[in-house]
A and B are shown apart, each in its own frame.
Chain A
């Protein structure tokens, strides 16, 4: 049997890395188990001529398509939005667009302000120091002073506007609508050992330059230097409990596939909004027959995705295509509730600079705007390098029927039951998406775009996995308390997107990591009576 550790963290992604780094100063024995391995930037797609083709294979965003040994399958047949993620040291920060908004203060008070869903048990101001600390460590770029966003202080200047930015900015100005350079985790200057962005363009499936922040190159090197142990290719099957109902450790499969037991005094789950409920439900026992930490019955419930309403078109002017990070601007014009729009809450917008030639050809052929035959070449030259995009990130409200359960048939390579997703897009979200598409069309047409196409929802757009182990003060209506501790199991904590009460209308990683740092801080303040 392995020697017991003080703290066992499951998952080395966005939140697991942050909590490990923060707790390292306690000098406790901290171990992190990660089902994936360390990434090798020399093998990232942008290092090869086949960089775009890899997006359809081993670098696909869907684990079901990718099918690496480190991935687990997900039955998302009963969902119009498919789960996308990445499993490695760094987790999905290895494969994301680096767009870096944070939740707004109003997002924590949706019940009070709009009478829907629930308020969070914490507020924005509580998280501010952790947002700031996280931005410093992840290394953000942006322009302070956005009038419609929370105040941030990015340590690096914003990305250049390039060719696409001014086209969008002019159109938004003509319409009188808000836009602003996005905060991103793309380094625009050399920063803390990371080289500055050189516009490889293909940012989402990992950055060979190391300019895009991912926790394998930010938090983890620091955490490991501070004494945290990170054990890779270790897939946790279940969390075990003792006679007192406390977590006693985990059963996992090591890199050789050998079953191991790792005892621990504290267990922290950081497996995202699908992996976390999967693990808790797989940890059912005689004492916890409905899954661990699930006396509320809410483990796996209230899954929120952020349905993406995407619209794009083609302008006469050249755009940045694949020669820049894909996102550079956002808009919060429609972020806050305006009931005259026909829905409650709102959406953020991220503008897209363009696409590479293979992606352009494949998608346009599928959309029916790129013909076969003699006219193919003329049309392709009209499309390629001329795309502008508008993607609305629509706030998904929590609904219990949107859920993660265990699939009765599908299993991963270790025989562990796979997660099953049952999800529908609500009427409120649909109205929001329609509104966004109409506004997007106005923007694109004002910019002079034609051949306008729609992806709504983006089918493989389930990046943001939220709400399936929500936080709250009422044990009957939440899974963890206001500082991330399970109501049922006093030495079990959750720090990933599962704890979100509502989703906001922005990419969540910044907020996920701020919460992880906040939970770690709460733990450090309460070490003497952590289990009371």
Chain B
């Protein structure tokens, strides 16, 4: 118990542990989820998550060190083993994860969106009789089967196959995660398609994971997050990656 308390003190920058680690907040990220976190060809972590992490550190006036790349499967274990102090890796806040770690306030949201051919005149509120596609075993598929009645539901094993059928016109509308869909719309294959309707909120919030014992650090992150949203720093970072707000 005492050992844990001492290590904790070190993490909280009270200068008990080695001098070097003491005033640094180590931030873990996966580095395999562009454009959010990725490793560039020089081996440096880049992306939206990294920019947000650095902005938060600047706001908190602490020195940060990015620890990447990390294995996604064991990323929470590494946090609880104190290999790093926070995870900024586009992690969805879920009840299951909350049993192992605490989360800051969300720093962005993953919404669903509908995609259809440009000029198709699809009205997202009147889809009866249309065919609607989604990838099987995703939040999007659950949303379609739960909320859309009188439509012809088509489920695909991969997102790529769903896009192919949207392109061929076999499905009128796709429901998909907004941010990956945005990437597709920018590609050559997706250039004739567009978002239709408003983003669909499915309560998929992305937060920073912190050890349960680090309540102080969590509070600091929350404060810093509020500050960068208020002073426009967040908006600037957002605009670098997406032409619409993802907060």
Partners in one complex: no
